[in-house]
Amino acid sequence: MKKLGFGCMRLPADGSGRINMEVLNRMVDTFMAKGFTYFDTSYVYHNGNSEKVLKEALVKRYPRDSFTITTKSPVFMIQSQQQFFDIFQEQLDRLGTDHVDYYWLHAVNRHEYATVQKYDLVGALQKLKAEGKTRHIGMSYHDSPELLDQILTEHPELEFVQLQLNYFDWDSPFVASRENYEVCRRHGKPVIVMEPLKGGNLSALPADLTAKMKAVDPDLSVSSWGIRFAASLDNTYMVLSGMSDEAQMNDNLSYMENFEPLNAQEHAVIAEVQKAIRATMPYQPEDFRKAEEVCPKKIGIRRIVQMLNERKAVVNDGKVVNTPVYYDIFLDGYGKAADCDHCGRCAGLVKGTDVPDLLAEADQTLKNWH
């Protein structure tokens, strides 16, 4: 199986969200004609329409054994194991098939893992697999490496993990792409990569960084570097790309049809680009250590500063890198920015920065960023 998957979260659509079936049909045809077969959707993509249009564009038009479908259970909606099974049957009906090839628990974090455990959803996945209604089981994941290690230790029956992974987030303290990837590798779980271009933010870089890439190969797009970075990792099974028009698809296919991993020179350029992007970040978290240590509210100031950095990192002409942040999860028991009562104990501890003012900004910027 070729390493590029068709992510069906950003299908070609007009301003009202109506999916353009004529364009989608052509994209599916091109994808299949080039030997790519992996389609990734979910119960909630495109307000529930993604699975429905895949039925029309793919399932009705191609033999069932010629393509691969993966979809996901909306764990965040589940209130009983029976509801899990009911939704799965609804998904089969939407897709027009009697089975899916891969079925994931969607967007697992520590909150959703409590639901997984409460209703034995891993056991439910195993039942679907035993009945032949899915060939493989796993989860998409957004949380810490520590929790991921716990889940995979408690549930070795999970076969795959879908992770947000790209060269910008590789060393991000809260996305923790590298650390989560390494946990999967230690457990022998192949990784499905989502957001290899960080929602499109790594498709257009500042001119000086673009020039570094073009100097290596002027024919390769900026986007190709992000896709190939993820696909070059030895434990990567599939890289998903949310292709919303034919130009994006044709570009992806041009270098993934006969995929070649990044070479040493290309890895060096990626490292330079990552470092240059992170150099635009305004704060050094360790500068805030003393302020955090004296805070009577135990506010997670260094973690909050890290999140502000990620939120403000400029990639292209002032465009903000907008990685989803699970604010409560990343703080993990520390106080929130809103807990600051301006007691004054941190005054003067961070040169050039009024910490309470910074926390007030963070409260407005981060509290609804998820």
pLDDT at 344: 94
**Statement to judge: residues 54 and 95 lie in one domain:** yes
* 43 and 93 both lie in a single domain: yes
Alpha carbon separation from 90 to 99, 233, 281 (Å, rounded): 12, 35, 45
What is the full per-residue pLDDT of the chain (370 aa) written as tens digits? 899 999 999 999 998 889 999 999 999 999 999 999 999 999 999 999 999 999 999 999 999 999 999 999 999 999 999 999 999 999 999 999 999 999 999 999 988 999 999 999 999 999 999 999 999 999 999 888 999 999 999 999 999 999 999 998 898 877 889 999 999 999 999 999 999 998 888 998 999 999 999 999 999 999 999 999 999 999 999 999 999 999 999 999 999 999 999 999 999 999 999 998 888 778 888 899 999 999 999 999 998 988 888 776 644 444 444 444 456 767 778 899 999 999 999 999 999 999 999 999 888 877 655 4
Distances (CA, A) of 81 to 77, 120, 122, 127, 130: 11, 7, 10, 11, 16
Based on the domain organization, do 354 and 231 belong to the same domain?
A: no
Domain contains 277: no
Domain count, the chain: 2
Residue 280 placed within a domain: no
Give the tokens for residue 210: 């673009």
- Rg of the chain over CA atoms, in angstroms? 22
**132: its two tokens:** 């032949």
Residues 85 and 39 in one domain: yes
Range of the domain at 56: 4-272
Q: Which of 4, 21, 94, 33 is nearest to 12 (CA)?
A: 21
Residues 6+ apart with CB under 8 A from 231: 3, 4, 193, 239, 256, 259, 261
Q: Are residues 215 and 314 in the same domain?
A: no
Would residue 41 count as lying in a domain?
yes
35 and 113 inside one domain: yes
